[in-house]
Amino acid sequence: MRGPCAAVRGAPGHPARLSGRGTFVIEKRIGIIMHGVTGRMGTNQHLVRSILEIRKQGGVALKDGTRLMPDPILVGRNAAKVQELARQHGVSRWTTDLAKALNSKSDAVFFDAASTQLRPTLLKRAIAAGKHVYCEKPVSTNLAEALSLYRAAKKARVKHGVVQDKLWLPGLLKLQRLRDSGFFGKILSVRGEFGYWVFEGDPQSAQPPAQRPSWNYRSEDGGGIILDMLCHWRYVLDQLFGGVKAVSCRGATHIPYRWDENGKKYRATADDAAYASFELAGGAIAHFNSSWTVRVRRDDLLTLQVDGTRGSAVAGLRRCWTQSLDATPKPVWNPDIPQPINFFEGWTEEPDDPAWGNAFKTQWELFLRHVAGEGPFRWGLMEGARGVQLAELGLRSWKRRRWVTVPTLRA
């Protein structure tokens, strides 16, 4: 099995640098092949706010006092785009030759943030080349393919991870803190509202351009909000509130036509909204509305309300408010008078923790430490497969118009 030394293989020695405190710090280089980072998420969250920020802070601190320093190489099909991205952010290495990058012995990790349909093939190529793999979700468009990725990584004895960023959002970390403290008592229900209006992209209209890529709305290209968002809701529910035992899902394609990046009109064949209910271990019920066809009048693009016997909480991406049983008002139904209670009062905002940073960067740091031999990493390809499983069963539920049991997933 690859140990910490193999994780940084190919480094030309371990150069020392002078820290701000006047002491010498040993750096270990780790080469990262970053594929598909010319897109919005890949550029902003993974390259700029994660890998480059880790470099700015002097790498990832390891237990022996050394610093693991990521050295990215950007890979993409469009040479002009990749070169310009590298130039803008001061990245010295880039290429359009993925095969050559994978054959390099000096890069230990392969990361992918390209389209879902291409991901299984790319990951298997990287695994076959002996690379540790880290990728965006969904890991594939179907469960069989997702499980085959897990088996391939296990057989090759490489380390693997899947982005599950919402677990490190400050709002959800506050919910986790409340859960661990027993604030909720018995959790009864979880309600999630996610989404915003994605413009159709009609170049002849006065509307802004579409803010999501056109493939998101074509099922033949791996698009659809059920496949995208039920992967997220699986790990959020499993790891914060109870394992998902059953799902009832209704999808919809509310906007039948959109315009692509070249201004060409096309038929939307993928779902742009999903209305899903989940039965959780322990008896709680969860319901999530996910939509790219909704106008926002709530605290954030994602809000979660958790109700329990002893208290409730409402969290967005960063902020969270609580109301205990003692502070709960006693409303009386009377539609003939204006509502006398201001229901926004009686809630207390949860404090921030200064240790919390960017959610994507936090998970990157955990994965890099794992590759270096420090600690387990539970958010691997099997967790990615569980997300795909729930999305697949959600689509099945929609087609059959009934509840579907979510079986325990084993390799």
Query: DSSP string of 41-63?
Result: HIIIIIIIIIIHHHHHTTSEEPT
Instruction: Specify whether 143 is located in the same domain as 208.
Output: no
- The alpha-carbon radius of gyration of the chain (Å, integer) is 23
Write down how long the chain is.
Answer: 411
217 and 233 both lie in a single domain: yes
- What pLDDT, on the 0 to 100 scale, is given for residue 1? 31
How many Cβ atoms from other residues are within 10 Å of residue 46's Cβ? 27
Do 283 and 293 lie in one domain? The reply is yes
Same domain, yes or no: 365 and 332: no
Residue 21: its pLDDT value, please?
Answer: 55
- Are residues 208 and 280 both part of a single domain? yes
Residue 232 forms part of a structural domain:
yes
The span from the CA of 3 to the CA of 380, in Å, is 18
**CATH code for position 161:** 3.40.50.720
Same domain, residue pair 140 and 182: no
Q: Are residues 156 and 199 in the same domain?
A: no
Residues 175 and 309 in one domain: yes
Judgement on whether residues 53 and 153 belong to the same structural domain of the protein: yes
Q: Has residue 128 been placed in a domain?
A: yes
Each of the 411 residues of the chain gets a pLDDT tens digit; together they read 333 333 333 333 456 565 555 566 789 999 999 999 999 899 999 999 999 999 999 999 999 999 999 999 999 999 999 999 999 999 999 999 999 999 999 999 999 999 899 999 999 999 999 999 999 999 999 999 999 999 999 999 999 999 999 999 999 999 999 999 999 999 999 999 999 999 999 999 999 999 999 999 999 999 999 999 999 999 999 999 999 999 999 999 999 999 999 999 999 999 999 999 999 999 999 999 999 999 999 999 999 999 999 999 999 999 999 999 999 999 999 999 999 999 999 999 999 999 999 999 999 999 999 999 998 999 999 999 999 999 999 999 999 999 999 999 987
Q: Containing H/E element for 160? A: strand 160-162
Q: What was the pLDDT predicted at 15?
A: 62
Is 59 within 8 Å of 70 (Cβ atoms)?
yes
Q: How many structural domains are present in the chain?
A: 2
Asked, for residue 30, whether it belongs to a domain, the answer is yes
CATH number for the domain including 248? Answer: 3.30.360.10
Question: What is residue 410's predicted lDDT score, i.e. its pLDDT?
Answer: 82
Residue 411 within a domain = no
> Which pair of structure tokens corresponds to residue 241?
């509130």
Q: What is the DSSP letter of 162?
A: E
Q: How many Å apart are CA 105 and CA 221, to the nearest integer?
A: 33
Residues 192 and 282 both lie in one domain: yes
Q: Report the C-alpha gap between 274 and 191 in whole angstroms.
A: 14
Decide: 227 and 138 in contact? Cβ < 8 Å: yes
Are 287 and 393 in the same domain?
yes
Contacts 24+ apart (CB under 8 A), 263-269: 263/201, 263/203, 265/202, 266/214, 266/217, 266/218, 268/217, 268/218, 269/217, 269/218, 269/219, 269/220, 269/223
Q: Using omega within 30 degrees of 0 as the cis cutoff, is the peptide bond preceding 338 cis?
A: no
Produce one character per residue of 130-152: b if its CB has 16 or more CB atoms within 10 Å, e if not: bbbbbbbbbbbbbbebbbbbbeb
pLDDT at 179: 98
Residues 337 and 370 occupy one common structural domain: no
Q: Is residue 220 part of a domain?
A: yes
DSSP 340-399: ---TTTT-EEPPP-TT---HHHHHHHHHHHHHTT-S----SHHHHHHHHHHHHHHHHHHH
Query: Which 3 state secondary structure label does DSSP give 118?
Result: helix
pLDDT for 115 = 87
pLDDT for residue 330: 95
Give the H/E segment covering residue 243: none
Q: Is residue 16 part of a domain?
A: yes
In-domain check, residue 252: yes
For residue 410, is it within any domain? no
Query: What angle, rounded to 10 degrees, do the helices at 381-400 and 225-240 form?
Result: 120
Q: Are 124 and 149 in contact (CB under 8 A)?
A: yes
**Residue 78 identity (one-letter amino acid):** N
**Domain assignment of residue 364, given as a range:** 4-166+359-380
